[in-house]
Copies of this chain bind each other. A is one copy, B any other.
Amino acid sequence: MAKTDTKSETARGARAPKRPTSVAASRPARRAAGAKTETPYHHGALREALLQAAERVLERDGLGGLTLRAVAREAGVSHAAPTHHFGDLTGLLSELAAVGFRQFNAAMASSCDAATTPLGRALARPKAYVAYAQAHPGMYGIMFRTERLDYSRPSLHEAAEASFAGLANAIGAMRQEQISGDALTMEQGAAIARAWSMVHGFTTLLLDGRLEDILGRLPEGTTAERLLESMLTAPISGKLPGP
């Protein structure tokens, strides 16, 4: 009945025929040299190791390949090990998304600091936004694949909240006004929604290949970044910006 499980785990076992013995043999190196990334098998940093393994699997095999068992395989542990640390698949994905949001926030912050001119500063955020998504499409995909996430998890909630706060602050700075945390005017809300919708929409359409059509019809060699820039800076002709 458990044929497939037995077989797949036997394959792993082939690398370490007698598990207890081999594990015990490799264990002494664990904290001897203070290298905490060394064989974090039994005690130690399995949780972090699993998150790193998950990120590797995600970048290598995409969202479709990111399964609990694949992550366990990548980390070299039994397929049920992740359950103990994350509860279920939603738990792992949520923690991984939190990692993504933290990376994302860091990228935004450092890119804003690097800007010099006013125009450069205004464009730095959206450019960094899209650049992160292009560099880590899998991560970005997870971060906004809401139906598989649990936003009630503190780590995810906080990281996503920080991301939103950064956006709101940037808008406030551009409008030369303070944006308070608890109340917004209609104009402020509209400005935030517009900025976020525009950049997030552009990013998802880009990652989904939906903009290829437009890019192919533009002057030879126009990049997505160039289109984004035009989209954000070009004067708005016609009666309304909406379609």
Contact = CB atoms under 8 A, between A and B. Distances in A.
B231 A176 contact: no
A238 B199 contact: no
Contact of A217 (B119, B182, B227, B233): B182
Interface stretch (A5-13, A48-56, A78-86, A201-209): A201-209
Chain A contact-residue range equals: 35 or more
A189 interface: yes
Given A146-B209, A184-B217, A209-B146, A242 B190 contact: no
Contacts of A62: 147
Interface stretch (A23-31, A67-75, A121-129): A121-129
A170 interface: yes
Contact of A239 (B122, B200, B213, B228): B122
Interface in A163-215: 164, 167, 170-171, 174-176, 182-184, 186-187, 189-202, 204-205, 208-211, 213-215
B239 A193 contact: no
Given A126-B243, A200-B204, A191 B234 contact: yes
A176 to B, nearest CB: 7
A147 B200 contact: no
A238 B205 CA distance: 26
A126 B242 contact: yes
A162 interface: no
A62 B147 CA distance: 9
A26 B153 CA distance: 53
B197 A230 contact: no
A222 B146 contact: no
A58 B182 CA distance: 37
Given A63-B147, A183-B217, A213-B164, A189 B230 contact: yes
A191 B227 CA distance: 10
Given A146-B208, A240-B174, A197 B189 contact: no
Contact of A190 (B171, B184, B205, B231): B231
A231 B118 contact: no
Closest 4 CB pairs of A and B: A201-B201, A195-B243, A197-B201, A190-B230
